[in-house]
Amino acid sequence: MSAGHKTMCSVCGSRPIAMARVAYCFACWPGGPVAPPPCLRCGSRTLYYASGLCARCHPSAIPPVDSCRSCLAWGATRNLTWLCKGCASWCRKYTLVDACRICGHGAVLDLDRVCRLCRKQAALVRGARAQATLEETNRDGQQLFIADLFSGHGTPIPIRSPAPPVSPKPLAPVSYRQPTLFDMTRTLRHRGMGGLAGRADPQLAAWVEQFTKQRAARHGWNHGLTWCVRTGVNIMLGFQDTPGVAIAATDVSVLSEVDLPIAHVLEVLDDAGLLEDDRISAVTAWVQRSLSGLPEPMTSEVGAWFRIMREGSSTTPRRRPRTEITIRLHLGWALPALRQWADDGKDSLREISSADVRAVLPQDGITRAQMGQGLRSIFRLLKARRLMFTNPIAQIKTGFPDPKVPLPLNVEDIREALDSANPARALLTSLFAFHGLSSIRVQHLLLTDIHDGRLELAGRSVPLAAPVRQRLANYLDYRNRHWPKAANPHLFVHFRTVNGTGHVGYRWIYLLLGPNINARSLREDRFLDEALATNGDARRLSDLFGLSTHAAQRYTEALDHPGFRSDQPANERHSSPSSGT
């Protein structure tokens, strides 16, 4: 043992002094030897060194090697806090400290609550039988090893043949529900996940487990995501007061308290037939909040309008469903008038006359046009459904908002996005800038929509431009490198959608493009570029991009606007250094 810079005992000269300002060690203490006190840091009564610390804790001592405090391998040193190299990496990856569910040894556990020693024992034994479980490989004990020298090569250890697995029986429907004495809010803040997951009915958990494995294999889930979904499902099964009864979707939201994937848990429960979807859509909740405070008859009439707008109607007069954005706009424009009539004592929209409509309409401007459009949507639909006798706004002219004049973008911003180092951003920009696709169309693009250098769009076959094909190849290589097992059929995916089948949202597109450009402005810039190249040929715009005649004329008429740089050549609009166009 090297003494380093410590003062040595004046008697033996081989051990450091017991403490400061004392010339002897405890072994040479006058009248001794004296038993050294326990270490002030770890409490050990062996290997005492100096200044109240043992050789394992004193910075000047060089303690002997010892067993790894995680996997018990011999050869660990103080350099890695008495861990072998493998366990040091293991403890950086996992942080849960508890008793191993296989051997009961207290150590750092992985996501399956298994220690590293059991994992290494399984790797050593599985040379004889690849399908052996952790319980089988650790049934006859564990082989300790030298630290940092573990190898799975060598003669495999024979194991006993496992019992055939028990296949889960089909789930029988539960026709009863156990009533509860008290209705309490579900929470995971004050209790561990393992306890609730362990309460799940074993047969029911085995039945649902097969659907978790099927979805994990189908969508290429990694081990961590599969464990999180399995844990979330078992927690919800442990919450059940009646095993086998359907679980309300709103109850699954409790998993957000422990950051478990709610969407995947809902999918697995739905596959197993254990989900009762009682969720209220965002637009429905918004309409309910917006109509609060209005009289009941008026609320009922607007509610009928909302249901037909959202779901459509197959009976005469037929009507296609409208988007949530349209519903929010129309109702938002009409709400000031509805609240004003409610304040004036009107209980139903049947009481509204043309004079009442004229009284609430603004005199002029875009506000008048927007309120008129919202009220016209409500009154026209209710009149068609015979929920009103007359349409009070039918003979009132409210005008239309002045259309926004489309203007070109800064060419440098487009080039910067086209040459982005992010393959998804470069491809996204090229689809908008070269082919004028809409945001909703790009969100729903499938991998099968593009083949042989052509893009199939609702009956139209669009040849892809060479720069788009180049960026498409780069993006597909990027996607295959990052998510090789992804089963999502959509072209664009990110880390939230890659493990499912949903499409990306508009917010993802907005954030990816950046603050200087957006999907709408890129689309309008492409239409303006084509209108300039064809000298305002509206028929060419209609044939090339599928626009209506009225929409095409909006871009051809914009060529005379003073803000449009008509002196710039069309072939320079979307060129970039790397595109070759």
Please write the tens of the pLDDT for every residue from 288-346. 999 999 999 999 999 999 999 999 988 888 889 998 989 999 999 999 999 999 999 99
Q: Calculate the alpha carbon distances from 386 to 279, 309, 376, 382, 516 in Å.
A: 31, 16, 15, 6, 49
Domain check: are 293 and 262 in the same one?
Answer: no
Q: Indicate the pLDDT class of residue 551, thresholds 50, 70 and 90.
A: confident
- What gap in Å lies between CA 450 and CA 464, rounded to an integer? 9
Quick check: is 390 in a domain?
no
pTM: 0.58
Side chain identity, residue 295:
P
Quick check: is 73 in a domain?
yes
- What gap in Å lies between CA 228 and CA 222, rounded to an integer? 10
Confidence (pLDDT) at 130: 54
Phi-psi region of 546 (alpha: psi -120 to 50; beta: other; left: phi over 0): left
Domain check: are 415 and 557 in the same one?
Answer: yes
Range name among 32-41, 188-197, 254-263 with the lowest pLDDT average: 188-197
Per the model's pLDDT, the better-predicted residue between 185 and 356 turns out to be 356
Number of domains the chain is built from:
5
The 10 Å Cβ neighbour count of residue 510 is 13
Quick check: is 82 in a domain?
yes
Question: What average pLDDT does range 122-147 have in this prediction?
Answer: 76
Largest CA distance in the chain: 117
Domain check: are 508 and 520 in the same one?
Answer: yes
Domain check: are 29 and 113 in the same one?
Answer: no
Helices (H) and strands (E) in the chain, counts: 20, 11
Q: Indicate the pLDDT class of residue 258, thresholds 50, 70 and 90.
A: confident
Residue 292 domain boundaries: 282-384
Burial of 141 (0-12, 13-18, 19+ CB in 10 A): exposed
Domain check: are 438 and 553 in the same one?
Answer: yes
Evaluate if residue 573 carries a pLDDT over 60. no
Total residue length of the chain: 581
Confidence (pLDDT) at 578: 37
Confidence (pLDDT) at 132: 72
Quick check: is 105 in a domain?
yes
Domain check: are 107 and 228 in the same one?
Answer: no
Confidence (pLDDT) at 161: 46
User: DSSP of 156-225, one letter per residue?
Assistant: PPP-PPPPPPPPPPPPPPP---PPPSS------TTS-HHHHHHTS-HHHHHHHHHHHHHHHHHHT--HHH
Task: Convert the pLDDT of each residue in 148-198 to its tens digit.
Answer: 775 444 444 444 444 444 455 556 666 667 777 777 777 776 655 556 777
Quick check: is 151 in a domain?
no
- Whether the CA torsion 54, 60, 66, 71 is positive or negative: it is positive
The candidate with the shortest Cα–Cα distance to 531, out of 488, 506, 560, is: 560
Rounded to the nearest 10°, the torsion over CA 511, 512, 513, 516 is 40
Quick check: is 166 in a domain?
no
- Whether the CA torsion 148, 154, 157, 161 is positive or negative: it is positive
Residue at which a domain ends, from 276, 302, 334: 276
Burial of 181 (0-12, 13-18, 19+ CB in 10 A): exposed
Domain check: are 105 and 226 in the same one?
Answer: no
Domain check: are 129 and 216 in the same one?
Answer: no
Side chain identity, residue 385:
R
Domain check: are 423 and 543 in the same one?
Answer: yes
Q: Indicate the pLDDT class of residue 564, thresholds 50, 70 and 90.
A: low
The 10 Å Cβ neighbour count of residue 214 is 12
- Look up residue 576 and give its two tokens: 């970039």
**99 — phi, psi (to 5°)?**
-80, 130
Task: Convert the pLDDT of each residue in 384-440 to its tens digit.
Answer: 998 888 999 998 988 887 777 777 888 899 999 999 999 999 999 999 999 988 888
Domain check: are 293 and 341 in the same one?
Answer: yes
Q: Evaluate whether 435 touches 465 at the Cβ level (below 8 Å).
A: yes
- Look up residue 3 and give its two tokens: 């003494």
Evaluate if residue 43 carries a pLDDT over 90. no
